[in-house]
Structure 1
Amino acid sequence: MRLARPIARPLVIAAFACLSLIGIAAPATADPSVAAGKYVALGDSYASGTGAGDYGDSGGCKRSANAYAQLWANSHAPAAFSFVACSGAVTSDVLANQVGAITPDTELVTISIGGNDAGFADVMTDCNLGSDSTCVSRNQEAQNFARTELPGRLDGVYTEIRNRAPSARVVVLGYPHIYTLNGDCAVGLSETKRAAINQSADVLAEVVSGRAGAFGYDFVDARSAFAGHEICAPGDDWWLHSITWPIDESYHPTAAGHSGGYYAALVGVTG
């Protein structure tokens, strides 16, 4: 029986200031026959690979050698690769600090963004520290923001990507469910809290996929990609950290989540 314990306030606050929502081998060295054009990887901690380890000299951005973007670059040998996703990023950070990597010759752009804008770091903090009603209320606030404010922010990012590289293929990768409901966790957050958090992931997927579709961009539904590997899933094959150390990696995909979840789903779209 697996445990998913709540965490103390100091650790929660430290974690979610950085958070903003099983290692396995990386794919083999790229085959030149599948070489691609320039690839730019944008986004937040779910894109940078926070939680997947092996961050090199990327500092607080925590760009992992095990992140889905790096795995795709390893296996497809793009002509150039710019990995600029950064832990904690919101849409304004993408516009200010990341889209400059996109040039007119960019052929592929991937991005995971929006969770931090909607405040899902605070959601996880409040759900760990508060009552069921507090958790549900905070999730409802985040969901309302996602439905009303986030679409315009996403449109701003997607428009800038299109302006910089009109011919690029853009793949938007969403966020997984955090929990398997009625799963294999002896203690931790209540089922009410887990259900509320998963509902927020559903709303976020609805909004992000809708705006991506409006621009003709591909959407990867991480809820499907991670199905059966969420926290509390039966067995030991979780693709998301529960409470872990360093604490800012809590509730982030593991290296297995990037390889078996995100990377596999991305290849399913791009080939």
Structure 2
Amino acid sequence: MRTSRSVSALLGLLLAATAVLFGTSEAHAAGGNYVALGDSYSSGTGAGSYDSASPSCKRSSKSYPVLWKNANAPATFNFTACSGAITTDVINNQLGPVNSSTTLVSISIGGNDAGFADAMTTCILQGTSGCVTRINTAKTYIANTLPARLDAVYNAIRAKAPSAKVVVMGYPRFYQLNGSCIVGLSETSRAAINSASDALSNVISARAAAHGFTYGDVRGTFTGHEICSGSSWLHSLEIFNIGESYHPTAAGYSGGYYPVLESKA
């Protein structure tokens, strides 16, 4: 009898140690109910393999929400992120599946509100001076207007899913400075674009923290894989597929975004 008890105790300790060693978590084991919200960086634009049922949203089977779903097998998965979305689109069009039983929400949002697509177009067409001016306008918006718009989204998510873990995903820096690119934007323009990405990340992370949400910073995982790195996980300007420009590749979602969500969820 003593031997049996000792063996049982030892097995219990081994199981507990294994759970710690291999990172088994209650959230992953329980399955849970996952909803993926946001813009093109959440839908998977740039990765290809898009869902034909919602072609304009460019929801990809290689996006980080789908990769997380495939790895963790939540009980339910709803994918409402859509390319081009701004904060009000999330509130008005994407929150349908979010409810009191939702256990995990992921979202990237704010880049379109700040006008990043227009800023990148300006940088390409108007040279360094026009680029820096447009980027400074975006940074002013990010500092003064975007926080309240993010608060509105985060409040709406929390109101519908009071118990969910919410992981707010950020954006990468676009360029490796002094990198391998010998043509294209000037180094000054590339540095300005990166500074706006950092400003966006800083505001998003601050507002996420204020709501008790978890921030997923992808700048670290993308370091060494920016445009001009020689090993880019981001599309540069795609003349014949303009909508893919400045979005992650499939490798960017699997190597840059998915590990961050996996570590935070």
Q: Same fold (TM over 0.5)?
A: yes
1:218 matches 2:214: yes
1:51 matches 2:46: yes
Q: What residue in structure 2 maps to residue 123 of structure 1?
A: 119
The Cα shift of 1:268 comes to 1.4
Q: What residue in structure 1 maps to residue 22 of structure 2?
A: none
Structure 2 Cα separation of the partners of residues 194 and 34 of structure 1: 43
Aligned length in residues: 236
Structure 2 Cα separation of the partners of residues 89 and 124 of structure 1: 17
In the alignment, structure 1 segments of 5+ residues that lack a partner are: 1-32
Q: In the alignment, is the contact (CA less than 8 A) between 1:108 and 1:168 conserved in 2?
A: yes
Q: Which one has more relative contact order, counting CA pairs under 8 Å at least 6 apart?
A: 1
- 2:203 aligns with one of 204, 207, 210: 207
Structure 1 Cα separation of the partners of residues 235 and 197 of structure 2: 16
1:229 matches 2:225: yes
Amino acid at match of 2:200: L
The Cα shift of 1:35 comes to 5.1
The Cα shift of 1:185 comes to 0.7
Q: What residue in structure 1 maps to residue 236 of structure 2?
A: 242
Q: What are the residue-to-residue correspondences of 1:250-269 with 2, within 5 Å?
A: 250-269=245-264
Q: Secondary structure at the match of 1:130?
A: helix
- 1:192 aligns with one of 176, 180, 188: 188
Q: Secondary structure at the match of 1:111?
A: strand
Let me know the Cα RMSD of the aligned residues: 1.0
Which whole-Å deviations, capped at 9, do the CAs of 1:75-99 have from their partners, x for residues lacking one? 1001100000000000000001001
Q: In the alignment, is the contact (CA less than 8 A) between 2:47 and 2:253 conserved in 1?
A: yes
Structure 1 Cα separation of the partners of residues 117 and 51 of structure 2: 25
Structure 1 Cα separation of the partners of residues 166 and 243 of structure 2: 28
Amino acid at match of 2:63: A
Structure 2 Cα separation of the partners of residues 228 and 168 of structure 1: 33
Structure 2 Cα separation of the partners of residues 35 and 256 of structure 1: 29
Q: In the alignment, is the contact (CA less than 8 A) between 1:42 and 1:112 conserved in 2?
A: yes
Structure 1 Cα separation of the partners of residues 130 and 40 of structure 2: 25
Q: In the alignment, is the contact (CA less than 8 A) between 2:179 and 2:228 conserved in 1?
A: yes
Q: What residue in structure 2 maps to residue 42 of structure 1?
A: 37
In the alignment, structure 2 segments of 5+ residues that lack a partner are: 1-27
1:142 matches 2:100: no
How many percent identity over aligned positions? 58
Structure 1 Cα separation of the partners of residues 250 and 235 of structure 2: 10
Q: What residue in structure 2 maps to residue 5 of structure 1?
A: none
Structure 1 Cα separation of the partners of residues 117 and 30 of structure 2: 37
Deviation >3 Å, runs of 4+:
none
- 1:159 aligns with one of 155, 158, 166: 155
Q: What residue in structure 1 maps to residue 106 of structure 2?
A: 110
Q: Which has the larger radius of gyration?
A: 2
Structure 2 Cα separation of the partners of residues 35 and 164 of structure 1: 21
Q: What residue in structure 1 maps to residue 8 of structure 2?
A: none
